Amino acid sequence: MAGHSKWANIRHRKGAQDAKRGKIFTKIIKEITISARISGGQVSSNPRLRKAIANAKSNNLPADKIERAIKKGTGELDGVVYEEVTYEGYGPGGIALLLNIITDNKNRTVAEIRHILSKYNGNLGESGSVSWIFNKIGQIIISSSCEDDKAFNAAIESGAEDFEINEDYYIISTKVEELMEVRDKLEELDFNIMSAEIEMIPKSLQKLERKQSDLALKLLDELEDNDDVNKLFTNFDVH
């Protein structure tokens, strides 16, 4: 796919193999909670919650944790109140960074993000400073446990707009509003759904020299490890 950041591939592969399951679960639970807080706890009327629960099940999050996260979001159970915010900024060499944040303390989080960026020659920008660089699309990750042609044909017949082959999985792109419909069709065909998310894909990629590239990778890793960073997008062309 033209303009697709390889960082997304690395992130998904890392997420599938990451031994720190607790950190993954924390981010999934936050997404479920805020989805329920914003649009209610009924899956039938809350597409974002439905997507979050589907991804939770794909990551083997226990059902009782899913239920508790929903109830905390709707206020049926006591818990912290999360807010969602988007930060835009720049990393080494001027690469664009778009961060989706879910936090219970915006002041703490923005201070942490500023500190991380400053360590790697980056900084926060104003709203709209880099978001125009990205296109919003739906992306489904399925494991490559079958022949490429079979997966490609199934994806296209299910309504996908693009298909990318990787070593351990396939990336299937859709219109945002058709993401869950395509996901469900693929699941009905017995494909192993690893994730289904709305992603921000850069229109073009930015290459860096080796020294800046190493800094950028360290920055992305540290941002990903922050519990309040729900999603991270960049136009950095990872080699």
- Whether 28 and 114 map to the same domain: the answer is no
In a domain, 62, yes or no: yes
Co-location of 166 and 182 in the same domain: yes
**Of residues 131, 135, 125, the one with CA closest to residue 91:** 125
3-state secondary structure 168-219: CEEEEEECHHHHHHHHHHHHHCCCCEEEEEEEEEECCCECCCHHHHHHHHHH
Ordered per-residue pLDDT tens for the chain, 239 residues? 444 455 555 454 445 445 456 678 889 999 999 999 999 999 999 999 999 999 899 889 999 999 999 999 999 998 888 999 999 999 999 999 999 999 999 999 999 999 999 999 999 999 999 999 999 999 999 988 778 888 899 999 999 999 998 878 899 999 999 999 999 999 999 888 888 999 999 999 999 999 999 999 999 999 999 999 999 999 998 76
Residues 127 and 209 in one domain: yes
Answer yes or no: is 12 within a domain.
no
- Measured CA to CA, the distance from residue 40 to residue 138 in angstroms comes to 22
Number of domains in the chain: 3
Q: How far is CA 86 from CA 16, 52, 113, in A?
A: 25, 18, 12
139 inside domain: yes
The answer to the question of residue 239 being in a domain is no
Q: What CATH number does the domain containing 198 carry?
A: 3.30.70.980
Calpha distance 121→187 (Å, rounded): 43
Judge whether 223 lies within some domain.
Answer: yes
Is 2 within the bounds of a domain? no
Nearest to 90 by CA among 133, 120, 125: 125
Query: What is the domain extent for residue 163?
Result: 133-202
